[in-house]
Amino acid sequence: DTVDFTDEGDAGDSVIGHGTFVAGVIASSRDCLGIAPDSEIYSLKVFNSQQISHTSWFLDAFNYAMHVGIDVLNLSIGGPDFRDAAFINKVMELSAKGIIFVSAMGNDGPLYGTLNNPADQLDVIGVGGLNYDDEIAE
């Protein structure tokens, strides 16, 4: 099930589907097993159909994650806003409570300042991609 934290009030289908792909890699229990086929997946919608989000939606989703006892939180997002204190502090709070954070780091590096937030935080596992030539994926 999907829990919608946006202003649309309709969990609906994902517009992009990237999180759905990641969930399959993690929890698929069919022909191609995921890395944790017995895991339970929660889908927390924090972007509306126009791909707009607000910090308050993330904070609500993070509080929900704590409430239901989620162990690992994957954020298939990232951005340059490392000054969003409420967001950063909430990530640190969840991490301190034992929730493992995994987040997209972006594929803009390896220059200083090119890691996306929250993957640039010390308590978050940042994930990026390489192509077959060991170059940063596009």
Cα dihedral across residues 4, 51, 74, 112: positive or negative: negative
DSSP 39-72: ----EEE-S-TTS---HHHHHHHHHHHHHHT-SE
Asked if 95 and 88 touch (Cβ cutoff 8 Å), the reply is: no
Q: How confident is the model at residue 113 (pLDDT cuts 50, 70, 90)?
A: low
Query: Rounded to two decimals, what is the model's pTM?
Result: 0.85
Range with the poorest average pLDDT among 14-18, 44-48, 115-119, 122-126: 14-18
134 pLDDT more than 70: yes
State the pLDDT at residue 85: 92
- The 10s digit of each residue's pLDDT in 60-69 is 999 999 999 9
CA distance 38 to 40: 7
- The 10s digit of each residue's pLDDT in 26-49 is 888 888 899 999 999 998 989 888
76 pLDDT more than 70: yes
